């Protein structure tokens, strides 16, 4: 098919490019975020031409929405899918009702993914859904259905575009596709025209969800320009942080000083402790792919999905759960089945999710907690993952005397509540009324009086020789008492007044007291003394590291000693440059690291896909497996001098990256200095 990208008049370009966002009042961002914060749960939909091959290409069945890149499909071949796209079973009302009945409050759908195909009626390119045998604007139908059933429609839009002749860079394997005449600024103007269509043809849009911003051609200047352009078209729209160029990989946060839009976007992960003071939304697949893959039936269970939703809400975030429709326009039956189960749970327990804020507790061993404030009361929703064997649910550190406790699944039946010191004790039924996750609604009077266990702050759980340990609480009206013999602190235990110095293995326990009475649970941390490893003698060291490069297809790190390398040699630092393959490869880097001081050192590998780090024969960091960019760490005691270091890495498909960091009590976390590596 002929690809045409229409030009616009000079006057139109001038008018669109000159729009500048007006300054906002203090209340405007809070006002527009209100519905989104209350919603907590939305449906992500990845749908496009990639649904036709359904994850399979050249006999391999591992692909998803990246199939054009990962399968290295030429542009002319991929374009033919447009002539085949005919989702005759698509029914917008049905999709929206499935989302609504699952308890979802908004839908985010791919208006354009990285392949450049537009799932809406655009006048900027013929590479869109109106040029398919289907010939219907699914975005218009979804907009109408969302208004009908009370959901917010939101659009995903990819900055990266593998199809447009002006988008740069090209795929690294597209060696015959010329960049002559390509103009990235002209591409940005094309984006603006499409965004204007999306924001003027379909009514009010809740969120504009950008993606594909990580390539070097995009920057914060473009991001701010697009953000202002979009907000002028719809002042109340919410825009994610991927409009800028400062997202910190899959963790989804924005680097300090970078432009961050309205909310962060963790991908396929839930922040361990939440992100206080930050609006964020975890997007996650229900199986292993975003786009439809007919071979992938490894779906998360409804129980797992509900607990993820609860976990995210308990940390103050939103959950954007993905489905990948088929080329016929239906949602996979496995996805629909799980959404129905989630909907049944939400029908009973939805009030414990909608409009809630993060848990006030630092730890809830039995499950999770969400919270609401209503008039003169505070409601704690206690989500029980592990049903207590003795029938007693213990809530630590809360000094408010409860007004009422009941199960959301049995609202007419009040539960017995009592107190022991700082603990509220709720007597539960013998069996959980809801197998997936039962919720206790605990109503308390007035402002919360909650004290979390004190923080036991040490650089690491391991040390050599000695280490300083501090105890801290965020409550000003408490004192901290502690022990070092493994017993629980009482009102006569040591009073904390200054940092502790530990010189041997010890278990520190600490608890907050007020007026001689405990007001928190007990915090525990075990510290272990390490015997540091001795260095090796190295003659005539040369700065750099040796490598062996392998080619193959793995789902986890292979035993490289059983394989024959394609190349070997030395490098100044960890690098993929010696490889001649952009995917399906592995490296083994070996050499020595020069350690400056006797201490405990923490090493980190950040990789996509798997990696490991060894000091000598000891595995220190295990970051193996197929995954997006992920960081793992491990610690070891070392003495000054040269220590053998080995880093292994493999890449299957998609993005590739490897960073190796080091940290010690005297050394801030940083990439291993190049001059510390020798062979």
pLDDT tens, residue by residue, 564-578: 999 999 999 999 988
Give the Cα separation of 356 and 346 in Å (integer). 14
Query: Is 537 a domain residue?
Result: no
Residue with tokens 């801290």: 472
Determine the pLDDT at residue 426: 97
Average pLDDT over residues 203-211: 98
Determine the pLDDT at residue 60: 93
User: The CATH number of the domain where 509 resides is what?
Assistant: 2.60.40
Give the Cα separation of 25 and 157 in Å (integer). 27
Residue 582 has pLDDT above 80, yes or no: no
Query: Is 550 a domain residue?
Result: yes
Q: How many percent of the chain have pLDDT more than 70?
A: 96
381 and 347, same structural domain? no
462 and 428, same structural domain? no
266 and 182, same structural domain? yes
User: Among 58, 104, 138, which Cα is nearest to 286's?
Assistant: 104
Residue 31 has pLDDT above 50, yes or no: yes
Give the Cα separation of 51 and 119 in Å (integer). 12
Give the Cα separation of 135 and 277 in Å (integer). 45
375 and 348, same structural domain? no
User: Among 272, 279, 290, 211, which Cα is nearest to 247's?
Assistant: 211
Mark residue 386 as left, alpha or beta (left: phi above 0; alpha: psi -120 to 50; beta: remaining): beta
Query: Is 384 a domain residue?
Result: yes
346 and 487, same structural domain? no
The tally of domains found in the chain comes to 4
User: Among 169, 188, 187, 189, which Cα is nearest to 179's?
Assistant: 169
140 and 169, same structural domain? yes
State which of 352, 378, 409 marks the end of a domain: 352
Residue 493 has pLDDT above 50, yes or no: yes
Query: Is 137 a domain residue?
Result: yes
96 and 70, same structural domain? yes
586 and 654, same structural domain? yes
Determine the pLDDT at residue 446: 83
Cα 41–43–47 angle (5° rounding)?
165
User: pLDDT band at residue 213, thresholds of 50, 70 and 90?
Assistant: very high
Query: Is 575 a domain residue?
Result: yes
Give the Cα separation of 602 and 465 in Å (integer). 16
Residue 3 has pLDDT above 70, yes or no: no
Determine the pLDDT at residue 23: 58
User: The CATH number of the domain where 566 resides is what?
Assistant: 2.60.120.1560
Give the Cα separation of 454 and 289 in Å (integer). 41
Average pLDDT over residues 190-199: 98
Q: How many percent of the chain have pLDDT more than 90?
A: 85
Determine the pLDDT at residue 22: 52
320 and 408, same structural domain? no
State which of 500, 529, 558 marks the end of a domain: 529
Query: Is 441 a domain residue?
Result: yes
Determine the pLDDT at residue 4: 37
Tell me the average pLDDT of the chain: 93
Contact 407, 413 (CB under 8 A): yes
User: The CATH number of the domain where 271 resides is what?
Assistant: 3.20.20.80
Contact 569, 579 (CB under 8 A): no
169 and 148, same structural domain? yes
Here the tokens at position 24 are: 């906002």
Query: Is 300 a domain residue?
Result: yes
Here the tokens at position 631 are: 């960081």
316 and 274, same structural domain? yes
Q: Are strands 281-284 and 238-239 parallel, antiparallel or unpaired?
A: unpaired
- Contacts for 393 with CB less than 8 Å, ≥ 6 apart: 366, 382, 384, 425, 426, 427, 428, 440
Q: How many CB atoms lie within 10 A of CB 164?
A: 21
Q: pLDDT digits over 525-557, tens only?
A: 999 999 999 999 999 999 999 999 999 989 999
113 and 234, same structural domain? yes
Alpha-carbon Rg of the chain, whole angstroms? 28
Query: Is 2 a domain residue?
Result: no
User: The CATH number of the domain where 381 resides is what?
Assistant: 2.60.40.1180
Is residue 109 within a helix (H) or strand (E), and if so which, with residue range? Answer: strand 106-112
Average pLDDT over residues 309-314: 98
Phi, psi of 309 (to 5 degrees): -60, -45
Contact 165, 79 (CB under 8 A): no
Parent domain of 97: 41-352
């Amino acid at each position: 098919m002929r690809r045409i990208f229409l030009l616009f008049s000079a006057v139109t370009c001038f008018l669109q490019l000159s729009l500048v966002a007006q300054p906002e009042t203090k209340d405007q961002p809070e006002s527009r975020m209100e519905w989104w914060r209350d919603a907590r749960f939305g449906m992500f939909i990845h749908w496009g031409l990639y649904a036709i091959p359904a994850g399979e290409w050249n006999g391999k069945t591992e692909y998803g929405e990246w199939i054009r890149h990962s399968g290295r499909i030429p542009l002319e071949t991929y374009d033919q899918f447009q002539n085949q796209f005919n989702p005759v079973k698509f029914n917008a009302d049905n999709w929206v009702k499935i989302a609504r009945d699952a308890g979802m409050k908004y839908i985010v759908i791919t208006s354009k993914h990285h392949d450049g195909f537009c799932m809406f009626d655009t006048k900027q390119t013929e590479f869109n859904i109106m040029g398919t045998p289907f010939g219907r604007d699914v975005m218009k139908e979804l907009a109408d259905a969302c208004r009908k059933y009370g959901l917010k429609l939101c659009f995903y839009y990819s900055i990266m575009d593998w199809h447009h002749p002006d988008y740069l860079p090209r795929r690294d394997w597209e060696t015959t596709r010329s960049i002559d005449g390509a103009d990235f600024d002209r591409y940005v103007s094309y984006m603006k025209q499409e965004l204007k269509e999306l924001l003027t043809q379909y009514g009010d849009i809740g969120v504009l969800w950008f993606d594909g911003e990580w390539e070097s051609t995009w920057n914060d200047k473009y991001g701010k320009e697009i953000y202002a352009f979009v907000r002028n078209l719809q002042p109340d729209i919410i825009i994610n942080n991927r409009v800028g160029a400062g997202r910190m990989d899959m963790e989804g946060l924005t680097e300090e000083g970078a432009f961050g839009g309205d909310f962060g976007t963790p991908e396929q992960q839930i922040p361990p402790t939440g992100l206080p003071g930050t609006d964020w939304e975890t997007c996650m697949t229900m199986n292993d792919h975003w786009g439809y893959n007919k071979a992938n039936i490894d779906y998360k269970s409804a129980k797992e999905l509900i607990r993820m939703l609860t976990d995210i809400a308990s940390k103050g975030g939103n959950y954007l759960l993905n489905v990948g429709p088929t080329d016929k326009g239906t949602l996979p039956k496995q996805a629909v089945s799980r959404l129905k189960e989630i909907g049944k749970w939400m029908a009973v327990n939805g009030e414990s999710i909608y409009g809630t804020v993060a848990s006030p507790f630092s730890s809830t061993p039995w499950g999770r907690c969400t919270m609401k404030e209503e008039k003169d009361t505070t409601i704690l929703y206690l989500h029980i993952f592990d049903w207590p064997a003795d029938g007693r649910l213990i809530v630590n550190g809360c000094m408010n005397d409860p007004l009422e406790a009941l199960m959301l699944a049995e609202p007419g039946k009040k539960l017995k509540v009592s107190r022991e010191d700082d603990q509220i004790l709720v007597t539960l039924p013998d069996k959980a009324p809801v197998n997936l996750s039962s919720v206790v609604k605990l109503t308390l009077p007035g402002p919360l009086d909650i004290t979390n266990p004190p923080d036991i702050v040490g650089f690491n759980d391991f040390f050599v020789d000695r280490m300083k340990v501090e105890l801290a609480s965020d409550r000003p009206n408490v004192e901290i008492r502690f022990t070092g013999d493994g017993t629980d602190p009482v009102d006569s235990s040591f009073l904390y007044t200054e940092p502790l110095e530990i010189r041997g293995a010890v278990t520190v326990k600490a608890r907050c007291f007020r007026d001689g009475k405990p007001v928190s649970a007990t915090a525990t941390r075990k510290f272990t003394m390490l015997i540091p490893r001795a260095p090796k003698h190295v003659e005539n060291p040369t700065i750099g590291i040796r490598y062996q490069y392998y080619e193959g297809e793995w789902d986890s790190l292979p035993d490289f000693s059983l394989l024959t390398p394609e190349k070997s040699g030395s490098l100044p630092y960890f690098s993929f440059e010696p490889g001649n393959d952009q995917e399906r490869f592995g490296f083994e880097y070996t050499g020595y690291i020069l350690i400056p001081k006797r201490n405990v050192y923490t090493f980190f590998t950040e990789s996509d896909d798997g990696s490991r780090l060894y000091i000598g024969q000891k595995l220190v960091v295990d970051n193996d497996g197929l995954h997006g960019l992920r960081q793992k760490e491990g610690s070891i005691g070392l003495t000054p001098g040269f220590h053998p270091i080995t880093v292994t890495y493999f890449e299957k498909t998609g993005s590739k990256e490897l960073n190796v960091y080091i940290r010690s009590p005297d050394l801030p976390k940083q990439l291993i200095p190049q001059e510390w590596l020798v062979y």
